[in-house]
Structures are given as C-alpha cells and as structure tokens.
Amino acid sequence: MMGSTRTSEGGYTAASNGGGTSMGVAPLSGSRVIVEYQEPAAVAGQGHLTIGEVVHCYRDPFSQAKAFGDSGSCNINVICPDGDLWRDQIRSVALILAGGGSCTGQLLNNCAEDGHPYFLTANHCVSGSVANWVFVFNWDSPDCTPTTNAPDNQTVSGSTLLTSDPGTDMAFLELSAAPPDTFNVFYSGWDNTGAFPDSTVGIHHPKGDIKKISRDLDPPLQGQFGNPVAECWHIQTWDTGTTEPGSSGSGLWNEDGRLVGQLFGGAANCANSVDDYYGRFDLSWPLLEQWLGTCGGTLDGYDPNGITPPTYDAAVTAIYDIPDQSCGVDSITPYITLKNNGTAVMTSVTLNLVLDAVPLLPQPWAGTLLSGQTMNVPLGTIPVGNGPHTLVVGSSQPNGQVDGNPANDATFDEFLTASPAQTVSVVLTLDEWGSETTWELTTDGGALLDEGGPYQNGTGGVPLIHEYCLGDGCYRIVIHDVAGDGICCDYGDGNLVVLDGDSLLIAESDGQFGDVDSVSFCIVGTNVPELGPLTALRVWPNPSNGSFTIAWPGGVERGTLRLFDMTGRMAMERAINAVQGTITIDPGPLAEGGYTLQLTSPQGRAVTRLFVQR
C-alpha cells in the first residue's frame, strides 16, 4: 500500500472553526483544487465565499519533505513502551500545518481547569497570521514497529496569537474551538517554578511525521540558544529518540508529567542526538499568567473526558508483522500490542482470534503488565490461503474477571495473500497532464491492493512500471481523470497495459475515456491442473449471432465461467455447479469478434474460444 495522500477534505460547517469568518484547511495532493460550497435553501444566496490565500507547497508534503515516514529511523512511536507513562501528555500534542511548513505544540491546562483551548508552541514557528493554521491531533502510529499510518483527520482550524516572547521562544495561542470530545485530548499540566527536572521527555512530530517520543534520563542544564538569544533548558544527550525540524514548539515534560518548556532548536538528529534547547516555561510565565491564572507553581493536567478507569480492562491496540500483500507464502506470524487500561496489575488474559469470520483456538497469555503499560505478544504461525483475509484479535477475561470496557477489546487487520503467485506488470503511460490522473488496483471483490497519482505535469510518454505478485483470481484497475478527457489523445498518447510474467499482454486500456476507465484481468495459478482435452469446455453453435450453449466436464462440482474480449476485459461472469450441466448465454451487445471463455474450478481449469458473428 502507498503512504498517506489527502485527495479530499471536509465537509466543514460554521462549528469547524468556532464560528469564525475565515478558516484554513490541511493541504491536498495535486495541482488543482475543486471547492464545493453548499448552503441551506432557506438562506440561499446569503453566503459569501472568498478564497483569500492559496499555499502551493514547493515540496510535496505527502511524499517528500514533510510526510508520514520521513523522519529518521531512530525516532520512537508514542505507542511504544517508552510512551507508557506519558499517555495523557501524548494526547495533548498536535502537529501544526502552517502555510506549507510544520511545527508541533500542545494544549495547556489553566487554573480554572475548564478545557479552554490554550495552546503553546515556539515563537519562531510564527510567520504572519496564525488565523488559518491547522492543528492535527492524535496522528499516532497504532504499532510500535514498523510504523503504521493512521487517520490524520482530527483537526482544528484557526487560532489567535495571545502573546509571544523571543526571549524564551514562546508563542501562546487560543484555538478557534476546543477539540471535540471524540478527539479525547488532554490539557497538559505545567511547572513554573524553574526547578531543575531530574529527567525529561519530549513528544513531537519530527519533519511533520507521525508522533514520536524522546527521553533524557539526566537533568538538563541551563543555556542560551538562537538569534535573538533565548533562555533555555539544554538537553545534552537524548537517551532514546531525537528531534528534527518540525519538532519545534513541542513540549518538554519533567518526571512529574508537567511541562517545563518548548523546543527552540539544536543539533540533535539520528546521527548524533545531542544539544537540544527548550525555551523555559518559568521565564515565560509572567506573560502567560493572565490567561492561565494564579494557582501556585505547579498544576496537573486536565482530562475533559476524565472517567475513572475500570479495575480490569485489557485492550488489543494493534496487529502487526502482517504484510499488506504477501507473495508466495501460505502463513502469517503476527504480533499484537496488548495494553492494560485497568487500574489493577494484569497477570493473565485470553486472546481470541478470528480469521475470515472463522474462530481459531483461543490463546492464553500470562505475565505482568502494569496499569497503562503495553506489551508485544506473538501469536505464532497461522496458515492462510490465497486471497484477501481479515484477522480479528480480541481480549477477554483479564485476571479471570469480566472486562470493564469491552469496546476496546479487539482490533483487526486486512491483508492479501498470493499463493500460488504470479508476477504481473502494470505499465501506465501518462499524457502531459499527470496531475489529473489517479488509479487503483483492486481485487474483483473490491479489496484495495495499490493506488497511485496524481503525478507531475509534463511527463507524458514516460512509462510508469509497477510489478505485483498476485495469486489466483480476478483483478480490476480503475483509472480516473479529473478533467474528464482521459489520458489520450489530445494532450499525449497515454495508455495502460497489463503483462504477465512472460511479458504477454493480458489487459489494456487505450486511454480514450472520459472521467473513468476500468480494466479487468484474471490469473490462474500454475498448480491448478488443466482439464484434459476430452473433458474440455464445449460450446455450440460456434460461431453464433445469437445465444451460445456451454457444457462443462461432469467432474466439475462448482466453478466460475468468465468471458474475456481480445483486450483482456471481462465481458461476462457466471457461477456454475454440477446440477446445471449446461448454461445458455446471450452475447447481447457484445461486438463481433473472438472471445476467450475460461472455466476455473477446484478440479482444474479449461479455456476455449467462441466467436460472435453478426
């Protein structure tokens, strides 16, 4: 599967930015944007829509400089055990999308503890107005390793700059609206005393990537950084993780889980994770007190959805080590992330596995898992057949007790197994308007295998070659053109061809279509026996200008008949069984010419030709 690519956003209402008169939205992929505006009939014509600013990123934020998977490999996902003691603080942190760039920041609690959307980031992140900034919450990988993408649509648009201070590189904002309850955010506590932390933690979005965590087990120093100079906490060396551009503005928390600063900058990276500088919260405090209130030197965090956790609550938060697509294998060896959301130490739980709606044998787990902690648990080897699959893993009976929150017990993973497998090449040649073109490869059941586009303009005539390992079955490629003029021929000779492992053509599109074109093809594995010549398909009359009668071997209990034209497009599909014996088909609107008739069954396959003669 490909990485995250936003192709649509919305819909938005007046509540999306707190009822304000302007609103920024997250970037979209491509060089053309369609804005759709709707209003109730009762107020038709009363609305006025103005696009005041368009940001065209000079680098693609989805596949290059600021994107999922772009940060250094030493960064640690917040779902990993390093984040176990910081689950609340993690929920306060958001990615900032600001005019084509990115920073990080976090919600802060105030003395009234009323969930007012105060937000802290770095002063150097502010360039121009913050009114149209977009704040992305909970963009967290569900897996520790490997990093897995997650929905990034929990956003708040717009903010107001309340105060800032270059002397501590602090910017203090008010979001246009409080994040809704469904975001399950947290408002971080803070410490304005200036006391030296014993250890520190940073939570951030390096290079605009999915959320990460860094830990320094030693006390920081005090130092100065930047131009103009800012008074900072100096992290000499990160013991785990690092920071990178895009982490700016992210919080620094002490061992008590209270924020003590926000990231200005430094030299840290995966090659040498040293010398980061955080503007000191205690020195920013005189500017913040009028909004955060007076309630002493420290304040714990605030959870607007605060609910007393149950005593016993086991959760399966992720399944991993299952490739989205497997080639030539007939088993999987997945792991799960097991989390203790209860208050009691968890010592046992039952893991319930369901593969393609069929329950597997339950697996008992025993160990020691403290409240809030996670653990990776192997599930062993699970046999799978060819085709799309869904594995569901759930938990039950923590410590032999009833689970206090069944809603978080289970998660699932969808994947495709190709076994036996064949190599198929999809060759797409674009016209000159590549930004108009997108495509998807799916199974005939609709399971998404891959997708691509939009592309750069001016690259017409250059073939894009994608190779896939596919198993028995039928597949479909759908090509979209947003301009409605296909990929051939006014602006270049674009087309698509599908080749088998021997480079023989099995499907194609000449690129001449409007908004969408669909190409289908089928594969039968080499280990499926050919039905003998004496028992092959029989078709009569052949050729015919009317209907055809088809008979199949008596040993075939069930199967599927598929009719393909000379370009490989599927023109008909019928299920058969032994009771029928024969079937009559009417070619109807099929064009005159030759067609391939294919029977696929557990007993084998057979292929013959039929001809439509008008």
The mean pLDDT value for 77-87 works out to 94
- Rounded to a whole number, what is the distance in angstroms from the first to the last CA of the chain? 45
The mean pLDDT value for 229-249 works out to 96
Per-residue CA distances from 492 to 31, 423, 483, 510 (Å): 19, 29, 14, 12
The mean pLDDT value for 228-252 works out to 96
Tell me the fold of 14-299: Thrombin, subunit H (2.40.10)
According to the per-residue pLDDT averaged within each range, which of 100-104, 240-244, 325-329 is highest?
240-244
Percent of the chain with pLDDT over 90: 54
Instruction: Look at residue 27 and tell me whether its pLDDT is greater than 50.
Output: yes
The mean pLDDT value for 398-408 works out to 92
Helix, strand and coil in the chain, % to nearest 5: 10, 40, 50
Q: Where are the beta strands (DSSP E) in 341-472?
A: 346-355, 358-359, 363-369, 374-378, 382-383, 387-396, 411-418, 421-429, 437-443, 448-452, 463-471
Give the least confident one: 17-31, 322-336, 450-464, 473-487.
17-31
Instruction: Look at residue 3 and tell me whether its pLDDT is greater than 60.
Output: no
Percent of the chain with pLDDT over 70: 89
What's the pLDDT score for residue 24? 64
What's the pLDDT score for residue 307? 72
The secondary element (H helix, E strand) that includes residue 65 is none
Question: Rg (Cα) of the chain, in Å, rounded?
Answer: 29
Q: What is the pLDDT of residues 414-448, one digit of tens each?
A: 888 888 888 899 999 999 999 999 999 998 778 88
Those residues with Cβ within 8 angstroms of residue 189's Cβ, 6 or more apart along the chain or in another chain: 109, 257, 258, 259, 298, 299, 300, 301, 302
Backbone angles phi, psi at 8, to 5 degrees: -155, 155
What's the pLDDT score for residue 292? 95
Q: Where are the beta strands (DSSP E) in 384-447?
A: 387-396, 411-418, 421-429, 437-443
What's the pLDDT score for residue 526? 47
- Residue whose pair of structure tokens reads 């090659």 in the numeric block: 271
- Quick one: residue 580, left, alpha or beta (phi over 0 = left, psi -120 to 50 = alpha)? alpha
Active-site option among 124, 204, 205, 389: 124
Sequence spans of domains, the chain: 14-299, 317-343+354-415, 421-523, 533-612
State yes or no: cis peptide before 541, omega within 30 of 0.
yes
The whole-angstrom separation of Cα 74 and Cα 268 is: 11
Written as one letter, the residue type at 143 is D
CA 450 from centroid of its chain's CA atoms: 13
What's the pLDDT score for residue 26? 62
The secondary element (H helix, E strand) that includes residue 299 is strand 298-299
pLDDT band at 407 (very low <50, low <70, confident <90, very high): confident
Active-site option among 71, 164, 248, 284: 248
Instruction: Look at residue 17 and tell me whether its pLDDT is greater than 60.
Output: no
Active-site option among 82, 88, 169, 431: 169
The first and second tokens of residue 355, run together, are: 């593969």
Instruction: Look at residue 15 and tell me whether its pLDDT is greater than 80.
Output: no
Q: What is the pLDDT of residues 525-557, one digit of tens each?
A: 544 566 665 557 889 888 888 889 998 877 777
On average, the pLDDT of the chain sits at 87
The whole-angstrom separation of Cα 265 and Cα 247 is: 8
Instruction: Look at residue 123 and tell me whether its pLDDT is greater than 50.
Output: yes
Written as one letter, the residue type at 115 is G
524 or 546: whose pLDDT is higher?
A: 546
Instruction: Look at residue 5 and tell me whether its pLDDT is greater than 60.
Output: no
Q: What is the pLDDT of residues 53-79, one digit of tens each?
A: 666 654 554 443 345 678 999 999 999
DSSP character at residue 16: G
Active site annotation includes 116: no
Q: What is the pLDDT of residues 253-310, one digit of tens each?
A: 999 999 999 999 999 999 999 999 999 999 999 999 999 998 999 999 999 988 778 9
Those residues with Cβ within 8 angstroms of residue 566's Cβ, 6 or more apart along the chain or in another chain: 593, 594, 595, 596
Same fold, 421-523 and 533-612: yes
Give the least confident one: 212-226, 459-473, 483-497.
459-473
What's the pLDDT score for residue 65? 38
What's the pLDDT score for residue 398? 97
Instruction: Look at residue 569 and tell me whether its pLDDT is greater than 80.
Output: no
The whole-angstrom separation of Cα 505 and Cα 251 is: 56
The mean pLDDT value for 79-102 works out to 92
pLDDT band at 1 (very low <50, low <70, confident <90, very high): very low
- Residue whose pair of structure tokens reads 């039968």 in the numeric block: 524
The first and second tokens of residue 551, run together, are: 């008979």
Q: Which CATH class is domain 421-523?
A: mainly beta
Instruction: Look at residue 355 and tell me whether its pLDDT is greater than 60.
Output: yes
Query: Closest Cα partner for 550 from 527, 576, 511?
Result: 576
The mean pLDDT value for 587-612 works out to 79
Tell me the fold of 533-612: Immunoglobulin-like (2.60.40)
Active site annotation includes 247: no
The whole-angstrom separation of Cα 450 and Cα 447 is: 9
Active site annotation includes 209: no
What's the pLDDT score for residue 530? 63
Query: Closest Cα partner for 361 from 348, 380, 338?
Result: 380
The whole-angstrom separation of Cα 319 and Cα 143 is: 7
Please, how many CA atoms are within 13 Å of residue 84, restricted to the half-sphere of its CB? 16
What's the pLDDT score for residue 532? 61
Q: Cβ–Cβ contacts within 10 Å for residue 93, how many?
A: 29
Burial class of residue 160 (count of CB atoms within 10 Å of its CB; 0-12, 13-18, 19+) = middle
Contacts by residues 375-379 (CB-CB < 8 Å, ≥ 24 positions apart): 375/81, 375/337, 375/338, 375/339, 376/144, 376/335, 376/336, 376/337, 376/338, 377/335, 377/336, 377/337, 377/338, 377/351, 378/333, 378/334, 378/335, 379/333, 379/334, 379/335, 379/336, 379/351, 379/353
pLDDT band at 28 (very low <50, low <70, confident <90, very high): low
pLDDT band at 34 (very low <50, low <70, confident <90, very high): confident
State yes or no: cis peptide before 27, omega within 30 of 0.
no
pTM attached to this predicted model: 0.53
